[in-house]
Structure 1
């Protein structure tokens, strides 16, 4: 660690006099870590059928493979960013790498579904730290147009991981087994940890107070209950006592957290003054709604490719390449624009394109092939690629450099909570619509009391298995009804996703303003208002 204080340690807000020799190493290491983290949000989905067979898991067990990671990831993001500002960003980032890599090893070696889900929870804690601190490390090293370029690369890598997830997961699962979707993180994590120790510069808030342990615990518990309520709402019933208690507990804990932070003032883990910043509120709402809609769509489209069209994990990933390539190109181009084009225009336009792409899923019909999804894929990929670079830059641009970790943490919190809530909420709506459509079909009526259970099986992707389990005279009708119900649910829910994304675009257009950004984020840039 250098004896000379970095810009963030010195509390400076102007660009550094000399550019750090290791800043491109920092960008590379953070990008590698982010690729791993975003990959783990998508890569697991294509391996779920293999996990079910290998670990003798039921549907609820498989839900927890996804939910355990999403739950702890969302709950500990702000905690990771706040601790990094106080204890040192490089130090906390290294700890996050150790946790994530060790948990990935435990996931790959898991002897049963319970141990896998516990390891996934720990993996989410490490991911939260890496997600929260990564943008702050980039922000401390880059200013002005260089920062725009850096966040363009960062956003492009994030987009690649989202889009390539099905392809990489399919290749690993089909080629060498499901355990390698986790084990592949281990060698990459070890190399990145060594490089991070040697190349990343340390920084922290020079006026940092003691750790706000009360705020950390209360906020993490509040987010945990909130996300858990959404994750379990469909299974337990949205009006059940357990789910209502989760939501009520989350609200009460968030009120308590606000009181704690107000009492602590400057020593608080979250600067509540950010919520008086119009641009902070605008990008937060846009991030929450955009991710809730976009990521839910990808998960449902992957399910459609595999479970209705019958493609293998690898074949599904290959057919997502149009979205992948569009997303990557859009992110790379947008990164160069963030220094010269109004962030309001970039964010609003990006989410508008996402919304339009989601509405185009209505082109899919029960008899369609995969190419019916192409228009939706291309437009959605364009929007998602455009969105990532300005989102990451704005997340830390609203705060002074000394609080970059906290700002990045709360920005990533809105992103990951949006993903978790979106997948849970839209997933529940999808399950309900598919079940209802199948149960009210002629084939469903022929199944009698088993119609609802049959519809639930269709929603879970087991339509072909259901058709194979009924008497031969009903098989053709059941298979056709299952396909029609699935497509009906897909198009209806993705129209809802498009509407949510449109609301996010409106928030971006109305509330994001360049003049609300901190002067350090404007250095060297020429942005419109």
Structure 2
């Protein structure tokens, strides 16, 4: 184990370091896990409260979309910024600041009296979440080495999966029990306690040779990524070839090009070390992260919609039905965490993506008349793949860089993850809408385009109710269109996951990792 560097850049004695670090490591892992659970939960928990939000705030469809989009947009745009600032200003300081922003924004969300205020608060909440997402893995990498790091990232990966899977369950319980405001307000007391514990228990660290803040890089990258994600989020609603969406994509490409030129000129003083892109393993894990999250998260959102809208489950019942996936994910993540040192990362990540591909393909076992148990093979395989993927993904993402640049590396890794989620949900969601709409139109021609969109959104029963004597026929056609669309799109998701598996098997190498990531 190499000696760490404290806040003033003086190497610590290894024996003293081990003795002083051990008690704080457990606290660091616990606090980062709490933060991760809260952040991942906020990606999914809001969905089930949208009907209540619409009624309480008199929100239209566009306003409700921005409740989701504002958080996802700022979260993706500020990840690398948060990680880079943490390396320069101090990871503990920036982490606490991010927690304070997230907690204050959660309070504003819960106190909102109109949808505009809520959406502005959600955007601020995403900024705080981006900082926590980026700095959390760097804090773990700072405190843990070798087998201990493997264990820590196993817990980290398991907690992420639990939050995603339990989102609908927790959201349904809070919304039904104490009201929609508490899906945000519950973050406040937890956040306050976590901030106090962070101040008392987390050890400070920063890059010893840190330069000044790269403000040009921060602005260029954040705006460029924000334009890219916004284009994907709004593409279906505005039209993929509309002037607005084309301008967003063009602006993103132009700003990213300028960002690369600026970072190349600044060299080591820039916010992003461009030499990472000469690292084969960094490129491989980045591609696998983007593709795997695009396929996996899109599938979960579509499957939750199927269970709720086609099978008629309440949010609480839907959460219960996804427990097989949740439990398998958590167990496999915990086991995989202990293997990340002993087993080459290409085997873990490649196998994880292959399992996910098999699980997504297994959704073809369901048919129009299936119950939820027909999804079990898909749930078990997909859960195993996701659980096996998260620990090595997080570990490799920071392992490609020296510990002094851990925040930057973690921010870049989380950026690929969140961009993958945004692209996957928007892209595969749009494809799903088209497949369902076309299948429904072919089965019962004559319905207006709006009916096709309602069927794709899961409102097939409502469409059928207005069909008079054809109600049974229309209901059956809507159900069949939804199921066939789900099978078709998840088959494509399976192909994407299989491609990610091939990338992992052929690109990831332990020799590309920094010694702190592989030491026993």
Instruction: Work out whether the TM-score is over 0.5.
Output: yes
Residues 152 and 332 in structure 1, CA contact (< 8 A), matched pair in contact too: yes
Matched with 2:271 is 269
Match of 1:111 among 75, 99, 113: 113
Matched with 2:506 is 510
Distance change in 2, residues 1:515/1:178 (3 Å): same
Matched with 1:527 is none
Matched with 2:440 is 438
Give the alignment of 1:319-358 within 5 angstroms.
319-358=321-360
CA deviations on 1:282-317 (whole Å, 9 max, x unpaired) are: 100000000000000000111111111111110110
Q: How many residues align?
A: 515
d(CA) in 2 for partners of 1:60, 1:131? 27
Residues 401 and 520 in structure 1, CA contact (< 8 A), matched pair in contact too: yes
Give the alignment of 1:78-97 within 5 angstroms.
78-97=80-99
d(CA) in 1 for partners of 2:55, 2:368? 29
Q: Secondary structure at 2:338's aligned position in 1? A: helix
d(CA) in 1 for partners of 2:346, 2:145? 19
Q: Aligned-pair distance for 1:10?
A: 3.9
Match of 1:68 among 63, 67, 70: 70
Q: Secondary structure at 1:382's aligned position in 2? A: helix
Q: Aligned-pair distance for 1:7?
A: 8.4
Distance change in 2, residues 1:9/1:377 (3 Å): farther
Q: Aligned-pair distance for 1:18?
A: 3.7
d(CA) in 1 for partners of 2:11, 2:298? 40
Matched with 2:456 is 459
Q: Is 1:221 paired with 2:202?
A: no
Give the alignment of 1:71-220 within 5 angstroms.
71-220=73-222
Q: Aligned-pair distance for 1:181?
A: 1.1
Residues 7 and 206 in structure 2, CA contact (< 8 A), matched pair in contact too: no
Q: Secondary structure at 1:207's aligned position in 2? A: coil
Match of 1:496 among 485, 489, 492: 492
Q: Which moved more, 1:169-178 or 1:403-412?
A: 169-178
d(CA) in 1 for partners of 2:478, 2:422? 27
> CA RMSD, aligned part only?
1.6
Matched with 2:469 is 473
Residues 11 and 402 in structure 1, CA contact (< 8 A), matched pair in contact too: no
d(CA) in 2 for partners of 1:11, 1:503? 43
Q: Aligned-pair distance for 1:416?
A: 0.4
Match of 2:44 among 36, 42, 55: 42
Q: Aligned-pair distance for 1:127?
A: 0.2
Residues 7 and 90 in structure 2, CA contact (< 8 A), matched pair in contact too: no
Q: Aligned-pair distance for 1:5?
A: 5.3
d(CA) in 1 for partners of 2:12, 2:356? 38
CA deviations on 1:430-454 (whole Å, 9 max, x unpaired) are: 1111111112212xx2xx3x43210
d(CA) in 2 for partners of 1:400, 1:13? 19
d(CA) in 1 for partners of 2:394, 2:38? 17
Distance change in 2, residues 1:341/1:13 (3 Å): farther
CA deviations on 1:151-178 (whole Å, 9 max, x unpaired) are: 1111111111111111111111222122
Q: Is 1:420 paired with 2:416?
A: no
d(CA) in 1 for partners of 2:487, 2:129? 32
Distance change in 2, residues 1:355/1:69 (3 Å): same
d(CA) in 2 for partners of 1:122, 1:11? 37
d(CA) in 1 for partners of 2:458, 2:467? 20
Q: Aligned-pair distance for 1:8?
A: 9.3
Distance change in 2, residues 1:427/1:8 (3 Å): farther
Matched with 1:6 is 6
Gaps of 5+ in 1: 525-529
Dislocated runs of 4+, deviation >6 Å: 11-15
Q: Is 1:232 paired with 2:266?
A: no
Gaps of 5+ in 2: none
Give the alignment of 1:341-420 within 5 angstroms.
341-420=343-422
d(CA) in 2 for partners of 1:324, 1:143? 28
Q: Is 1:56 paired with 2:53?
A: no
